[in-house]
Each structure stands twice: as structure tokens, then as C-alpha cells.
Amino acid sequence: MSELATYITLGFRHITDLEAMDHILFLFALAAIYRIRDWRDSLWVVTAFTAGHSVTLALAVTGALVLPTRLIEFLIPVTIVATCVENLVVHDRRRALWGGRYRPVFAGVFGLVHGAGFANYLRSLFVDQIALPLFGFNVGIELGQLVVLAIAAAVLAAVDWTFTLATTRGGQGALRLRVMAVSAVVACVALRWAVERSPF
């Protein structure tokens, strides 16, 4: 296996591991408002998230940015809660700020926080040879996120179908119920993490 493929595999496996529930839930929260036909929008958001964490990761592992681990571990679940709150608060995205097209921006900003979470590990382990591991790890993370996104789309479509059957509310009604249910569950989990990891 080439070195690059090794680090791509490392990033991919890290993000798709079932124990990586913080990343997976964040992606679910981001994807919760989209339907399968909105795949371009969700792809933009996830790619912006990857771009964000790539920037922080690069800055942090090269030592240009030093961030306290405890603060980052607290902020990661806070970003998940914030995403869920945004999902719950914004009902009509066409009337929201920039016609609702601000989501890639905040996904990118939250990506900055998540990237810092990986940085300490990578900086320690690959202290003398960071460029290739960093690049490969990020490519693997992006590929893994696309897989998680595809699974999230299928799960969310199944939730829609269940709500449609259970409530006879199709279309927008089922979508809204889904957004509320998924966001509420994810927010509760992330809130618990945030409280447990509060540095204050």
C-alpha cells in the first residue's frame, strides 16, 4: 500500500467508525434538513465542513495555531447543538438570511473547530513528516463523510416515510417532523457531551 493510500484509509476509517459518533451525529445534524433531491446543497455543506477542518488541522499540526485540547473537546459538541438549534429555529429557509444559503459558511466555521480536535494526535504522531499524512487524512475524511452522508440520506428518507405513514402528513409536513425529531435527539446527546466536557 502506498503511504498516501495508508493515510487516506486512516482518515476514512476514523470518520466511518461507529465509535466516531461525534462526527457522525454532526453530519446527521447538518443533513437533517435536506431531502435526497437536495443532494447538491448537502454536498456543499459537507465539503465546506471538510475545508474548514482542513484549514485548522494544517495550522494546528504545523504549530502555527495552538489550541487548548479541553476547550476544543467542549466546543465540538457545542457546534453540534448549535446546528440542531438552527435546524429547529429556521422554518422557512427561503426567507432566512441569504435565502438559507449561509449553511456552507457556518459548516465551514464549525469545521474549523472539529479540525482542531484531530490536530494534537496528528502533530504528536507525525511530528517530523506531517505534509503527506495531513493531506491523506483529509482526503480520507472527505471520502468517509460522503459515505456517512449517503447513509444519512437513506436513514432520513426512511424517517420521512415513517412519519408520512404514521401521521398522513406528506411532503413538507413529514420533512418538518423529521427535522425536529432528528435535531432534538442529536441536540440532547451533544448537550450531554458538552456538559461533561465543560472546562468552566
Q: How far is the CB of 101 from other proteins (least distance, A)?
A: 30
Site of grid cell 445534524: 29
| 159-195 burial: b if 16+ Cβ within 10 Å, else e | bbeebbeeeeeeeeebbebbbeebbeebbebbeebbe
Which is nearer to other proteins, 87 or 104 (by Cβ)? 87
Residues near other proteins (CB under 8 A) are 1-3, 5-6, 9-10, 13-14, 17, 19-23, 25, 73, 76-77, 117-118, 121-122, 124-127, 185, 188-189, 192-193, 197
Q: How far is the CB of 5 from other proteins (least distance, A)?
A: 8
Q: How far is the CB of 67 from other proteins (least distance, A)?
A: 15
Which is nearer to other proteins, 120 or 164 (by Cβ)? 120
Which is nearer to other proteins, 41 or 148 (by Cβ)? 148
Which is nearer to other proteins, 67 or 76 (by Cβ)? 76
Which is nearer to other proteins, 97 or 188 (by Cβ)? 188
- Say how far apart CA 152 and CA 150 lie, in whole Å: 5
Q: How far is the CB of 60 from other proteins (least distance, A)?
A: 13
Q: How far is the CB of 29 from other proteins (least distance, A)?
A: 12
